[in-house]
Amino acid sequence: MTPTDAGALHGSEAVAVEAERRWAIVVIAIISLLIATMVFTSLHWASMPPSRVETVDPRNLHVSGEFVESNLGTMLDADGKVVVRLIAQRYAFEPQCLVVPAGVPVTFRATSTDAVHGFVVDRTNANVMLIPGFIATFTATFDKSGERLMPCHEYCGTGHQAMWGRVQVIAADEFRAKARDGARVSCVPR
C-alpha cells in the first residue's frame, strides 16, 4: 500500500466518523429540545395528567346523579364558582354549545357515556380525555370573549370527524346576569 492509498482510506473514514458525529449532535439536540419542552410546559402551564380518580357509573348517567340532562351546561355555584358539566357520547357533546364568562376561572366536569372522546377548546390549553367511568375535571380561564370551537380529538368511531361543539366566551357581567338563580346557561338553540 502506498502512502497515498493509506491517506485516502484514512480520509474517507474520517469523513464518515465526522458525519456520524454531526448526526449524533442533531439527535441529542432534538431529544434535549423535547425534554426541555416537556419540563417547560409542565412547570409553566402546570399541565399534568388528571390527578384525581373520580369515578361514575356510565350506565345510568342520564337517569340520576350529577350528569342528568337538567344539570348540564354552565352554572354559578353558591360560592361563586363557575362550573361547566358536560357529557360526550358518539357523536356529540351534550350540551353542543357552552357559554362561559371571560377572565374568570371555569371548572369543567365531564365524562363519556360510551367510548373514549377528546375534549379541547381551540387556542387554549383546555384539553382533556373523556373516559367512560371517570370524571375529568380541570379549570381554565378564557382571556378574550368570542366563539371557540370544541372538537373531539380522540378517535371514537366512524362519526368522529363530525363530533364537535362550540364555546361562547362572553363578558363576566353578562354571564352573571344569565346565570342568576342557579340557571344552567348554554347556547344550544331551543
Q: Which residues make up the interface to ligand CUA (CB under 6 A)?
A: 88, 117, 152, 154-156, 160, 163
Decide whether 86 or 170 has the Cβ nearer to ligand CUA: 86
Cell triple for 20? 456520524
Decide whether 61 or 185 has the Cβ nearer to ligand CUA: 61
Q: Are strands 105-112 and 82-89 parallel, antiparallel or unpaired?
A: parallel
Name every residue whose Cβ is closer than 8 Å to that of residue 159 and which is 6 or more positions away in sequence: 90, 91
What are residue 73's phi and psi, to 5 degrees? Answer: 110, -165
Q: How far is the CB of 107 from ligand CUA (least distance, A)?
A: 22
Q: How far is the CB of 102 from ligand CUA (least distance, A)?
A: 27
Q: How far is the CB of 56 from ligand CUA (least distance, A)?
A: 18
Q: How far is the CB of 84 from ligand CUA (least distance, A)?
A: 17
What are residue 139's phi and psi, to 5 degrees? Answer: -120, 135
Q: What angle do CA 56, 58, 63 make, to 5 degrees?
A: 95
Note the Cα 41 to chain centre separation in Å: 14
Note the Cα 43 to chain centre separation in Å: 17
Decide whether 99 or 152 has the Cβ nearer to ligand CUA: 152
Decide whether 100 or 131 has the Cβ nearer to ligand CUA: 131
Decide whether 156 or 167 has the Cβ nearer to ligand CUA: 156
Q: How far is the CB of 116 from ligand CUA (least distance, A)?
A: 8
Cβ atoms 27, 105 nearer than 8 A: no
